[in-house]
Chains A and B, each alone.
Chain A
Amino acid sequence: MNEIIKAENVGIKFSLGKTGYKKMQLTLQDILKKGEEVRKTETDSADFWALRNISFSINKGDILGVVGSNGSGKSTLLRIIAGVYSLDEGSLEINGSISPLLSLGTGFKMGLSGYDNIFLNGVVMGFKRQEIEAHVKDIIEFSELGEFIFQPVKNYSSGMMARLGFSIAVFLKRDIMLIDEVLGVGDFKFREKSQKKMQEIIHSGQTIIIVSHNLESIKKYANKCIWINKGELMVEGETEEVLEKYTS
């Protein structure tokens, strides 16, 4: 089995409160008053580790579910994998390209038509024009938007927007798909269809990382699971066993 993602002791911190000029004010005052040493300890104490000592690995074709309560750092983990946040600790090895699933509406330009937004969204995710053109028919068909595809997105209902977003994501994908809480969009019929599509993608050997509070869907799709609590890795292992510990 070839490892596609290998995370070792990944840690990321945010500085709380004292950013920008507040911090500068503080440091200026501190330097004048107490000297360099105090400044260091003071700013360090304000650091908040959103994730620390997270280690896991995924092989090609794995579906990794990430569970945890609100604010435990799940989305932060996805952002690290997407390359948005850089690590403060540890190492992260990724052998493949990544397609982040833009959360609903992110990157859509409201004044533009759905059709234009497919291209915009695709290019944002790093696809070439030709690649998008090759899929644009499928995307429109799957989204069931019909004539509406040429209407400005601002006239869409939230369900329509979600359908378009989902359709773009399932057709424009890279080696590793990142999904954050957007399974099951639209009405009942579309949800069934999208779940079927997800199954299809999973069977095609796609590597996926899913963050969700919906344990049912994690159970259904993921073969591996990690549970993160307050930025720390609680359990890593088979989905069943992790979920059992998580829910107990």
Chain B
Amino acid sequence: MSKMREEISLLFDRIDLIRYFVGSELKALYKNKLLGFAWAVLDPFFVMLVYVVLVSVIFKRGDAQFPILLFSSLLPWRWFAYAASSSVKVFISNASLIQTVKFPLSIFPVNAVLIGCFNYILGLVVLAPMLLFFDANITLNVLWIFPLILIQLLFNFGLSMVFSVIGVYFNDLQNILAFVLRIGFYLSPALYELSSIPNKYQDIYVAVNPFASLFQTFKNILVHGIAPEPTTLIYCFYAITFFLLGVYLITKQSKKIPKLL
């Protein structure tokens, strides 16, 4: 426990480094492109467009608010997916650095999570005018987004640490994760509503899939204008569990990982 606390406090000691890592990564990601940072906004927008065409135009499903219902769950999903898929190879791709300088290893998953967070927040900026355009019921409940971002931070950071550690031992995880993430997205109520799940399975579905309660909460606070339901606590529970598990794994393995790279 004290080692876990130490890892986190070391992380805060090197906040300068985190800032530079994230800043330079973002610069490198967007700087040399014609549209620059606009890509952070356009990327999720285009993905949403594809789904809207697929569901609303081709399959003729989904109601008038489908684009914002989808977008409000697509954004948190993309954050998670980005963090998870970059974390899984993060130690391997930074091997030479890890073997030259001593770092708190959790710094690398943190970077992935924060870069994802940056894109996420830009995505929310695009979502705002869309909410107005599609007649979302905007109330003060929107403000729930701030605590929710913090909880997502915890959730994504936790799972990213778990994936980053496992990624060192199982190279195959990179490939597996790509599929798991894709399937995971379809198994979560982003393209459809929770209510379209058969009633008797709904409870277990929400309990097992943390994204069910997360997406539902986002749809509630952003589109329907109602406060989060108690099921949100399920997501919080997962967030805390994954966070503790992640910190535990990374502190336990931090001596071995540099040798394995």
Contacts and interface: CB of A to CB of B under 8 A. Distances in A.
A83 interface: yes
A109 B99 contact: no
A188 interface: no
A124 B168 CA distance: 22
B58 interface: no
Contacts of B179: none
B258 interface: yes
B169 A112 contact: no
A128 B100 contact: no
A208 B25 CA distance: 32
Contacts of B168: 20
A124 B258 contact: no
B24 A116 contact: yes
Contact of A82 (B16, B31, B101, B255): B101
A150 interface: no
B17 A111 contact: no
B31 A111 contact: yes
Nearest to A83: B102
Given A20-B169, A20-B170, A85-B259, A124 B16 contact: no
A120 B24 contact: yes
Interface string A75-99: 0000100111110000000000000
A211 B31 CA distance: 38
Given A21-B170, A79-B99, A84-B102, A14 B259 contact: yes
A114 B27 CA distance: 13
Contacts of A19: 169, 260
A112 B24 contact: yes
Contacts of B130: none
Contacts of B20: 119-120, 123-124
A129 B16 contact: yes
B150 to A, nearest CB: 26
A237 interface: no
B98 interface: yes
A157 interface: no
Interface in B1-57: 14, 16-17, 20-21, 24-25, 27-28, 31-32
A106 interface: yes
B100 A79 contact: yes
B208 interface: no
A14 B100 CA distance: 17
Contacts, number: 72
Contacts of A222: none
Contacts of A82: 100-102
B97 interface: yes
A193 to B, nearest CB: 25
Contact of B98 (A21, A84, A126): A84
A119 B101 CA distance: 16
B16 A128 contact: yes
Contacts of A119: 20
A106 B16 contact: no
Contacts of B32: 111, 152
B96 interface: yes
A184 interface: no
Interface in B137-153: none
A248 to B, nearest CB: 33
A102 interface: yes
Contacts of B255: 86
Nearest to B95: A106
The 5 closest A-B pairs by CB, nearest first: A111-B28, A83-B102, A20-B169, A123-B20, A86-B255
Interface of A: 14, 19-21, 79, 82-86, 100, 102-103, 106-107, 109-112, 116, 119-120, 123-126, 128-129, 152
22 contacts: A19-B260, A20-B169, A21-B170, A83-B102, A84-B98, A84-B99, A84-B258, A102-B100, A106-B97, A109-B24, A109-B25, A111-B31, A111-B32, A112-B27, A112-B28, A112-B31, A120-B20, A124-B17, A124-B101, A125-B101, A126-B101, A129-B16
Interface of B: 14, 16-17, 20-21, 24-25, 27-28, 31-32, 96-102, 168-171, 255, 258-260
